[in-house]
Amino acid sequence: MHEMSIARSLLEVIERYAPTNGRARVKIVRLRIGELAGVVPESLRFCFEVASEGTVAQGAELQIEHVPLIGRCRACGADFHVEGYIFICPHCESPHVELISGDELEVVELEVEDVRCP
């Protein structure tokens, strides 16, 4: 399952950008995941929960924005949702289609809280 490798890569990003002063905890991780990425959100959440144990991101919530697979026909200029991974324009049937969105796999934002003890 490639969701575990994605979860581990996500933790590498978090460790690189989240404060590492021992007093911070990541609360929320916001992601944009395109339809073409082939990620099963619930599997990613499970893998992230397991992989993040004992890290600054333990218990963090993954908020996932799903990005549809959108193509643009180079022949007629129409934008359309790509159904069934068939990259053919439904308007003019041209196979000359460029990808507009749907291959994203991005960390958009980390929400971090300070957990200092008084």
This prediction has a pTM of 0.84
Q: Is the pLDDT at 1 greater than 80, yes or no? A: no
Domain count along the chain: 1
Range of the domain at 58: 2-68+102-114
Dist CA 47 CA 39 (whole Å): 12
**Domain assignment present for 26:** yes
pLDDT in tens, 80-107: 999 999 999 999 999 999 999 999 999 9
**Domain assignment present for 80:** no
Name the token pair of 112.
């971090």
**Domain assignment present for 37:** yes
**Domain assignment present for 82:** no
**Domain assignment present for 88:** no
**Domain assignment present for 79:** no
**Domain assignment present for 30:** yes
Q: Is the pLDDT at 14 greater than 80, yes or no? A: yes
Q: Is the pLDDT at 115 greater than 80, yes or no? A: no
- Residue 17's pLDDT band, with cuts at 50, 70 and 90, is confident
- Residue 118's pLDDT band, with cuts at 50, 70 and 90, is low
Contact between 87 and 54 (Cβ < 8 Å): no
Q: Is the pLDDT at 114 greater than 80, yes or no? A: no
CB atoms within 10 A of CB 11: 20
pLDDT in tens, 31-78: 999 999 999 999 999 999 999 999 999 999 999 999 999 999 999 999
Task: State how far the alpha carbon of 84 is from the alpha carbons of 15, 36, 81, 88, in Å.
Answer: 36, 10, 10, 11
Q: Is the pLDDT at 19 greater than 90, yes or no? A: no
CATH number of the domain residue 61 falls in: 3.30.2320.50
**Domain assignment present for 85:** no
